[in-house]
Homo-oligomer: A and B are copies of this chain.
Amino acid sequence: MTSRTLDERTGTHIFLKCENFQRSGAFKARGAFNAVLQLPEAEATRGVAAHSSGNHGGALALVARECGIPCYVVMPAGAPRAKVDAVRGYGGHVIECAPTMDAREAKLAEVLAETGAHEVHPYDDPRVIAGAGTAAAELLDEHPDIQLVIAPVSGGGLLSGTAIASHGINPGCRIWGAEPTGADDAYRSLERKELEPRTEGSTVADGLVATLSARTFAILSEHVEGIVRVEDAEILDAMRLLFERCKLVVEPSGAAALAGVFAFPEVLPERVGVILSGGNLDFGTYDEFAKASTSDDDDD
């Protein structure tokens, strides 16, 4: 999608890849489909499993339903209602755990041992990365003259797939990530050229708190020019603009790349692709975000 408002505000041409319209409401369906459809039947019948704070779980449950196999999703307490409901709505089994990465991994190990299910990692998996890259591949197939693509970065699966697919089509295309300042391990890792752990911090973008793996770090180091860090207020302003002017429901994580365009540290090229990664958000949740949105600029 394109928008006169976005083009006027940035002085460039913005091409939005609307993964909020993707099945399951986020790009995650791409990787989940690609991983599950490659499983040998004997393995697939025991089902698939993952831990997920949200969109990956819903996507995996959707794919499992389509394939007629069971799906187990370990979800931390406090995960957004819409995301928990999505897993259940697709017939997936939700197993709740404490909201720490250790607890998620321990619980998932239990589930895998009990069920014999196949783990589909949300990002540290070449099949998932390749699937995620098809969003950028579609965007560049349609608009091969795009000069810069920005995608949000969390564990790095989407950005890795975006980079590989984009460079496969156009090696000269510039690739940037957008990351919340409150969860900026990818920014620090690429700056220091070694994998940095996550530090304390929080962000409104609940989908962007994972950390890079060795695999995604290596891919990003090779392909990505830079990471632009965005404050929560900038993410919410981008979300508000997409809502009010583009009529698109995009979750905070999904709006991060557009916030990255607005905060871009260099001169933007003429044609910029932006991956709006997802739109799964409770109807009532908008209010708290609206109140937190600090902008009172009526001209945007």
Contacts and interface: CB of A to CB of B under 8 A. Distances in A.
Interface stretch (A147-155, A189-197, A290-298): A290-298
Interface in A66-112: 82, 85, 88-89
Contacts of A23: 4
One complex includes copies of this chain to the number of 2
A291 B299 contact: no
Contact of A279 (B25, B247, B293): B247
Contacts of A281: 244
A298 B283 CA distance: 12
Interface residues of A, number: 32
A244 B286 contact: no
Q: Most B CB atoms within 10 A — which of A25, A243, A282, A289?
A: A243
Interface in A246-300: 247-250, 279, 281-284, 286-287, 289-291, 293, 298-299
A174 interface: no
Closest 6 CB pairs of A and B: A287-B287, A284-B290, A247-B279, A247-B249, A286-B286, A20-B247
B85 A283 contact: no
Interface of A: 1, 4, 18, 20-21, 23, 25, 82, 85, 88-89, 240, 243-245, 247-250, 279, 281-284, 286-287, 289-291, 293, 298-299
Nearest to A295: B283
A286 to B, nearest CB: 4
Contact of A247 (B245, B250, B284, B289): B250
Q: Which of A25, A240, A284, A291 has the most chain B CB within a 10 Å cutoff?
A: A284
Contact of A290 (B85, B244, B249, B287): B287
Contact of A244 (B1, B88, B283): B283
A22 to B, nearest CB: 9
Given A20-B247, A249-B247, A293 B283 contact: yes
Contact of A287 (B20, B286, B298): B286
Contact of A248 (B244, B249, B282, B286): B249
Contacts of A293: 283
A82 B244 contact: yes
Contacts of A282: 244
A298 B85 contact: yes
A298 B89 CA distance: 8
A279 B240 CA distance: 14
A282 B1 CA distance: 21
B279 A284 contact: no
Contacts of A245: 25
Contacts of A21: 1, 247
